[in-house]
Amino acid sequence: MSDHANDTGPMLASPRCGAKTRIGGACRAPAVHGKTRCRMHGGAPGSGAPRANRNARKHGLFSRAAIVERREIRALLGEARRMLEGMK
């Protein structure tokens, strides 16, 4: 970082939008504060569903509870595997 008047370091270091562009790369425009997308890719105020909205729910496979459950099952399986390895 320099003490130049036009020090853009902090601005350039801000989180970037990861939306996929038409040529296949990431958007790289600055993400809206507190979001992972820029103002043009769904980060605009008021965009997106409100929290706990279930309008687009189809099967719940990716619900927070289901993801946590799968993570716990995997941890248990890993633990059991390590225990069995220790018995050999």
Of 44-83, binders to Zn ion (CB under 5 A) are none
Among residues 20 and 71, whose Cβ is nearest to Zn ion?
Answer: 20
Residue 17 in contact with Zn ion, rule: CB under 5 A: yes
Residue 15 in contact with Zn ion, rule: CB under 5 A: no
Q: DSSP characters for the chain?
A: ----TT--HHHHTS-B--PBPTTSSB--SBPPTTSSS-TTTT-STT-SPPTT--TT-SS-TTSHHHHHHHHHHHHHHHHHHHHHHHH-
Q: How far is the CB of 49 from Zn ion (least distance, A)?
A: 19
Q: How far is the CB of 29 from Zn ion (least distance, A)?
A: 4
Q: How far is the CB of 65 from Zn ion (least distance, A)?
A: 30
Residue 29 in contact with Zn ion, rule: CB under 5 A: yes
Residue 63, token pair as written in the block: 């619900």
